Amino acid sequence: MGIRSVGVEEELLLVDPASGEPRAVAGAALAYADDDTRLESELQREQLETGTRPMTTMSELAAEVRRWRQEASRHARRAGAEVAALGTSPLAVEPSVSIGERYQRLQEEFRMTAEEQLTCGCHVHVSVDSEEEGVAVLDRIRPWLAPLLALSANSPYWQGRDSGHESYRTQVWGRWPSAGPVEPFGTPERYHETIKALLDTGTLLDTGMVYFDARLSQRYPTVEIRVADVCLDPSDTVLIAALARGLVETASRQWQAGEPPAPVTAGLLRLASWRAARSGLTDALVHPLTWTPAPAETVVRALVDHVRDALSDTGDLELVKDGLATLLQRGTGAHRQRTTHTRSGDLHTVVTDAVTVTLS
């Protein structure tokens, strides 16, 4: 394969311009959408999802991310709302499940798990040549997904309170029965057998509920990495996407060279993910090479080292180094939210600030 294409899906909150509270106006916002729009509804009526076209350069992807955030904003304003790239709402909210048979079935079956699930993530799609390559990639990127989560952390508040987590979205999302890390699959056959076994329990409604941290996309010839919060700053989205592509390319090269996946269990990966969600970049993370605590900066620099050759080959190395340096200096979206709250003393200002940064 040549340079792999990358696409990004971002879930955005719809918020009241005056109060900052989430507004259930997704239907009204989408009523103004064109036929070729890349905006979609989500589980809750207080959010929209954007989707970029697949791109091969990060400069093109950056323009796409900003374009569709602006488009989401334009449609939201017609419905009397703004968009904010926040992993969770800082202000208290009672979400409204979207109209539609599948959404209603989710609500009936999962009750509070579905009813409270107003969370916004970022999903990165990276192209692969085949399911065989895709499963080989899934098996080999597993140790490095927690550092991606730490870099994206952007959801410290839940129902008007500081959760104590940098990514509380991860904790809420983990309520779904199929969410989180998984064991290695080995082959496409085993991957599909695993999904069939999950469906055979009668617990999941359909394959759309296979909420692994990373999975084969149902719609595209891609690996879909789903672990990240939606990033407040669009430049962080591009950083996450570049690292995700680097991980996929590095994993494919390891597979082609006959290198086996790291022998790490899903249980240990779950602990590393919990640590990343709790601490973000503010404290120690679990190092994917030693499985012991290490400073967050050490871990994310190890991630860059791990994918360095792939980043060099796509021309992304300097972009990633600069983006990481900026992120380490200014902090994640969670850090900005807390800093804004400390300065202003109210969560409304956190939301209005987020609206501005979302469209920067």
176-226 residue pLDDT tens: 999 999 999 999 999 999 999 999 999 999 999 999 999 999 999 999 999
- Provide the 8-state DSSP code for 339: H
Q: Tell whether the model's pLDDT for residue 319 goes beyond 80.
A: yes
Mean of pLDDT values over 113-136: 97
Average pLDDT in the chain: 96
Mean of pLDDT values over 225-251: 98
Neighbours of 200 (CB within 10 A): 9
Of 86, 153, 115, the closest CA to residue 347 belongs to 86
- Provide the 8-state DSSP code for 110: H
Mean of pLDDT values over 311-332: 98
Q: Half-sphere exposure (CA, 13 Å, Cβ side) for 166?
A: 32
**Are the CB atoms for 324 and 222 separated by under 8 Å?**
no
Mean of pLDDT values over 13-26: 97
If phi > 0 it is left, if psi is from -120 to 50 it is alpha, else beta; for residue 315 that is left
Give the residue carrying structure tokens 């969600």. Answer: 277
Q: How confident is the model at residue 161 (pLDDT cuts 50, 70, 90)?
A: very high
Q: What pLDDT does residue 139 have?
A: 98
Q: What pLDDT does residue 35 have?
A: 63
Q: What pLDDT does residue 175 have?
A: 97
Q: What pLDDT does residue 36 have?
A: 64
Q: Which domains are seen in the chain, by residue range?
A: 6-358 (3.30.590.20)
Name every residue whose Cβ is closer than 8 Å to that of residue 337 and which is 6 or more positions away in sequence: 86, 90, 154, 156, 157, 232, 350, 354
Q: How confident is the model at residue 37 (pLDDT cuts 50, 70, 90)?
A: confident
Distance CA 334, CA 30 (A): 29
- The pTM is what? 0.97
Neighbours of 164 (CB within 10 A): 10
Residue 208 burial class via C-beta count within 10 angstroms: exposed 0-12, middle 13-18, buried 19 and up:
exposed
Name every residue whose Cβ is closer than 8 Å to that of residue 127 and which is 6 or more positions away in sequence: 1, 4, 5, 6, 54, 220, 221, 222
Residue 108 burial class via C-beta count within 10 angstroms: exposed 0-12, middle 13-18, buried 19 and up:
exposed
Q: What pLDDT does residue 2 have?
A: 87
Distance CA 282, CA 291 (A): 18
Mean of pLDDT values over 50-78: 97
Name every residue whose Cβ is closer than 8 Å to that of residue 147 and which is 6 or more positions away in sequence: 276, 285, 288, 299, 300, 302, 303
Mean of pLDDT values over 272-286: 98
Mean of pLDDT values over 294-315: 98
What is the sign, positive or negative, of the torsion defined by CA atoms of 262, 268, 272, 274? positive
- According to DSSP, the residues that pair with 55 across neighbouring strands are 6
Q: Which tokens is 338 given?
A: 């807390």
Q: Tell whether the model's pLDDT for residue 331 goes beyond 70.
A: yes
Which run of H or E residues covers position 103?
helix 101-110
